[in-house]
Structure 1
């Protein structure tokens, strides 16, 4: 699934779920609780004894009915096969703790946003929120700038202050694999795989409002002005797993527009959209390689793409696929079923903008079939105005991969290593004005590419042997001189080398490498690891990187020495409601830093539970805010 979206445990669970023919349970008219009966027949086997990335029943219940319903139509569609739309609705109503709006004459109202029904998950802020000021100090979107360098030149504290960072507040909320914090002045916005989007006070963590989208959202949000929309001045943009781009009012959370951008099976809206000059760029990715483990799944018709929308209207301006070849029948699988290809080339990360050249850069994932895909494992340059492909550098050919090979009937021949390029490309300007593109791969390779020579490799380092969950995962950071690269290798049985490395961009010289310390965790699975998969963030003189063992560290930019280490997961942290809550595995979207504060998410897809029967709420899902001396 590209860049650390799977594990051996989740592969096993997926195989178990998709290989067992579950009985179809039609809702009987005289059944007092058809939702209960359907849930027990179709869902309880996994969710009542959840493990790894499968959410528990308790976690599911904290989501609105619309979220649960749309999950059964989207990412969980193979498991919900055979259920009617009405049966999905009664399951959603049964599982969700939220009830329809009392007295609402429209029985379908529960399938739209209904945030008033859901808890805020924190204390409501007193008084009106401050007006939005786009000139205020901020971290807006995946990176502070559209170069995706993840560098904050004016953090509001110095590198010398870093050892004094302490927790100021923590926000505990449902979901996992959440987006990172976006901050505009004293407003903070964060998304959740529960489908909730929150507006918080950046200094205290109190809640201004909560918006419940129609499905999961893990993309980080971007905020910008919106025109020709009476009553709306600023919009907050994200994508969700209804296969849509979404705009809501950044001041109130009121919906503005929603546009479906793709209709492929198994779509996963993971990469954060990039907002630039009134255009919203939405990357498209897919879980096809997981679904294709099911021998009955029609493999594989998905092609990754980038979609450009008018940020004011939601109108699609253009859509460019990572290959111009359309999937077509090309051979039979091991069980005699038709295979389609090419397939794959997902874009898992935020697009990068090159204003001077009028280009967009995207990095792509592996292919799913052995029908050749020329845009898989590539860096691609597209025209900002038209989406036309200007150049394409395929860094690894024939990386054809699905979960469960060689046993699965849909396996490609040969099977590739799953070495996706999952992090955003960094556009870096050298002191002489020359520009370089930096790209990282799950193989452990880091590339410097020449944007003036169709992405020709300038230098290359292989920092580890890589693996399907190894190498470079969610993102590197670059300051004025160096790129700082985290290596995961959480599942690498050959020669794992988790840690952080600094490389001088001008000539590719490795400045330092700091291996990940070995630590103990409150969980004992493979994710008790020093793997650095979460995106890295840099400030002048320091680099912030988190590891899967729950440790959040700062490194001296000059030497790689660890100058600050905070364990987010060993002990409970008091949240904004005054309750104890746990962090967990740190992965995915990374730290954001602005106005003297550092914000980071701790907890990822249930990987930090002590065991599959852990019922003490220790799955880990916290947004933690740090400040100097906690002030």
Structure 2
């Protein structure tokens, strides 16, 4: 397989001016065609991105440019891409750059904030969202942060149009799932870091729960809110607060025909549990009314309080639930043979197909054993004919997701008993297994299972999958045959001359946009470098097909 050479290092030697810090000489054309947007490509969350990249030409990809975020240890969030520009995040920055050269149009920094032992502010959203101009309304770029704040920037200039806190608990709520925009509604899922931060709090866990906020895209005003649980209150039997949790990590799917929103919820944090945790729910697009609920795992209560024995508090749930939430976005799949299905994969390792009208189960298929980081973790993809799922089957002490986790020496990622990590292709209509592959990599001279936690991307006849060990691969969708690979855990110089390094591939994975392939490399939320993970990194890598 062709290995792409170091990005800007070669450019420094051949064309030095390409790697000097540079502002773009042109201005942003907000009317340029949109090539990729949001976390999951479309309203149905297909992760099926249009591009010119195919199995026949993927080996011709050439390094175009790279962005290095100095001082950052992980790269989050899919970029929004137009024919001219790339809008992406890096630490506390939201950046607009030229798609061809990487020169910068503008950057905007969100406020700095740090909670001791918990973490510092960053653009945490799983994708930057670009909204083209509509009538008298300007083009906007949206992002959300670690403290539940949401930002709307003018896409042409990077100036702030509006920002607001969209949670209900400033110390707990955060935004991970990316928004959708449809019919004058900005639809934003809200999650909570209380699953982690309760470890260092002095009052009984847990008070926060998931929210779906539906806002006016141009003012940020709330149109309606869906609360996944009622307000928490102290439970005398347990000494804990409840109900809680059922947080929203993934991007909602929108069903224009039925005027519905499909969401996936997380586990409860303490008992008593609710009937809509670890569930897929259909909401009315105009009111937020719950139309149906499919609960995959009942009785799941989990938080990290048992993770450090010396600091374990009364918040520790014994026995702890399996932590089997839906973190991957549900997909509204338009089946190649006709009809629709809502298809979702959970951290328990199971894929479910549901009737979009009633929520009734069409079929389910277990692919993995599940674990605290999946099972199916960040996202599946589909092309209407096949469902593509990455199974990680790993677990970790989630205290490592806190700043204090490194100080406390929390455990690193490990595979679960009977793990079956790999990539699976299912028939979308029936759930029948069409193919499965179990790639490996070499660590200390030993063939080691590669762990696929990041979301998958399908484009034409290719499936792109990034592994925790830092390697990005492209597989043929018909049979899983490998067509291209690149090991991203390498030293790289950015377009401005900043030295950086790739690392773990997680979260959004790679996306395609026209003749371009983009990859975030570097992720250390749950552990450092080990046999499964490449560790921290700070690079956005961009490849491009050669010009005809």
Whole-Å Cα distance in 1 between the matches of residues 140 and 362 of structure 2? 40
- Cross-structure match for 1:205: 102
More helix by share: 1
1:223 corresponds to which of 97, 112, 130: 130
Question: Is the 2:31–2:132 Cα contact (8 Å) retained in structure 1?
Answer: no
Name which of 540, 543, 546 aligns with 1:626: 543
1:1-59 deviation digits (Å, cap 9, x = unpaired): xxxxxxxxxxxxxxxxxxxxxxxxxxxxxxxxxxxxxxxxxxxxxxxxxxxxxxxxxxx
Distance across 2 between alignment mates of 1:536 and 1:444: 15
Query: Is the contact made by 1:364 and 1:378 (CA closer than 8 Å) also made in structure 2?
Result: yes
The aligned counterpart of 2:386 is 482
| Cα distance in structure 1, aligned partners of 2:21 and 2:284 | 45
- Other structure's SS at 2:465 match: strand
Q: Unaligned regions of 5+ residues in structure 1, if any?
A: 1-120, 612-617
**Secondary structure of 1:340's aligned partner:** strand
1:295 deviates by 6.6
Report the Cα distance in structure 1 between the residues aligned to 2:82 and 2:44, rounded to whole angstroms: 19
1:53 aligns with: none
Mark the CA change 1:260 to 1:137 in structure 2 (over 3 Å): closer, same or farther.
closer
Equivalent residue for 2:474? 554
> What CA distance in whole angstroms lies between the structure 2 residues aligned with 1:329 and 1:608?
34
Aligned to 1:163, the other structure's residue is in SS state helix
Contact 2:30 2:132 in 1 (8 A): no
- Structure 2: which 5+ residue stretches go unaligned? 1-18, 112-120, 396-414
Cα gap change, 1:224/1:126 in structure 2, threshold over 3 Å: closer, same or farther? closer
More moved, 257-266 vs 198-207: 257-266
Decide which of 487, 510, 516 is 1:597's aligned counterpart: 516
> What does residue range 103-502 of structure 1 map to in structure 2 within 5 Å?
123-133=21-31, 136-152=33-49, 154-174=50-70, 175=72, 176-192=74-90, 194-214=91-111, 215-219=121-125, 220-225=127-132, 233-264=138-169, 265-294=171-200, 296-323=202-229, 325-331=230-236, 338-405=239-306, 408=312, 409-453=314-358, 455-491=359-395, 492-502=415-425
* Counterpart secondary structure, 1:170: strand
Q: Distance in 2 between matches of 1:140 and 1:351?
A: 14
Structure 2 CA distance for partners of 1:400 and 1:541, relative to 1, 3 Å: same
* Cα distance change on mapping 1:625 and 1:581 into 2, 3 Å: same
Query: For residues 108 and 391 of structure 2, what CA distance do their matches in structure 1 show?
Result: 35
Q: CA 1:521 to 1:489, structure 2 compared with 1: closer, same or farther past 3 Å? A: farther
Judge conservation of contact 1:165–1:630 (CA < 8 Å) in 2.
no
Q: Displacement, 1:607?
A: 6.5
Provide the residue aligned with 2:491 in structure 1: 572
**Secondary structure in 2 aligned to 1:160?**
coil
Structure that is richer in strand per residue: 2
- What is the total number of aligned residue pairs between the two structures? 490
Could you tell me how far apart the structure 1 residues matched to 2:228 and 2:333 are? Answer: 24
CA distance in 1, matches of 2:303, 2:431: 33
SS at match of 1:292: helix
- State how far apart, in whole Å, the 2-side matches of 1:150 and 1:259 are: 29
**Which range moves more in the overlay, 503-512 or 272-281?**
272-281
Greater CA deviation, 600-609 or 381-390?
Answer: 600-609
Shift of 1:518: 2.8
Deviates more, 1:381-390 or 1:154-163: 154-163
Give distance in 1, aligned partners of 2:124 and 2:96. Answer: 15
Distance in 2, Cα, partners of 1:608 & 1:626: 28
The two structures, once aligned, show a CA RMSD in angstroms of 2.4
Q: Aligned in 2, Cα 1:339/1:463: closer, same or farther, shift over 3 Å?
A: same
- C-alpha distance in 1, partners of 2:444/2:37? 33
Q: Deviations over 1:281-311 (max 9, x none)?
A: 1101011121223473431111111000001
* Cα offset, 1:228, TM superposition: 8.8
Deviation at 1:125, TM superposition (A): 3.1
Kindly indicate whether the alpha-carbon contact (under 8 Å) linking 1:370 and 1:413 is maintained by their aligned counterparts in 2.
Answer: no
- CA 1:196–1:529: 2 relative to 1, 3 Å: farther
Deviations 1:95-124 (A, max 9, x none): xxxxxxxxxxxxxxxxxxxxxxxxxx9722
Alpha-carbon shift at residue 227 of structure 1 (Å) = 6.4
Q: CA deviation at 1:259?
A: 2.2
For residues 463-542 of structure 1, the aligned pairs below 5 Å read 463-491=367-395, 492-520=415-443, 530-542=450-462
Q: Distance in 2 between matches of 1:294 and 1:630?
A: 55
State the SS of the aligned residue for 1:451.
coil
1:79 aligned residue: none
Kept after mapping to 1: 8 A contact 2:380/2:387: yes
Cα distance in 2, alignment partners of residues 506 and 548 from structure 1: 30
With the length of structure 1 as denominator, give the TM-score of the two structures: 0.74
SS in 1 for 2:496: coil
1:166–1:630 CA contact under 8 A, matched in 2: no
Q: Structure 1 residues 625, 292: CA separation in 2 closer, same or farther (over 3 Å shift)?
A: same
Q: What SS does the aligned partner of 1:289 have? A: helix
Question: Cα offset for 1:532?
Answer: 0.7
Q: 2:52 aligns to what SS in structure 1?
A: coil
Larger relative contact order (Cα-Cα within 8 Å, sequence gap ≥ 6): 2
TM (norm. structure 2) is 0.84
Relative distance call for 1:177 and 1:403 in structure 2 (3 A) is farther
Three-state SS of the structure 2 residue aligned to 1:291 is: helix
* Secondary structure in 2 matching 1:300: coil
- In the alignment, the residues of structure 2 paired with residue 228 and residue 163 of structure 1 have an alpha-carbon distance, to the nearest angstrom, of 42
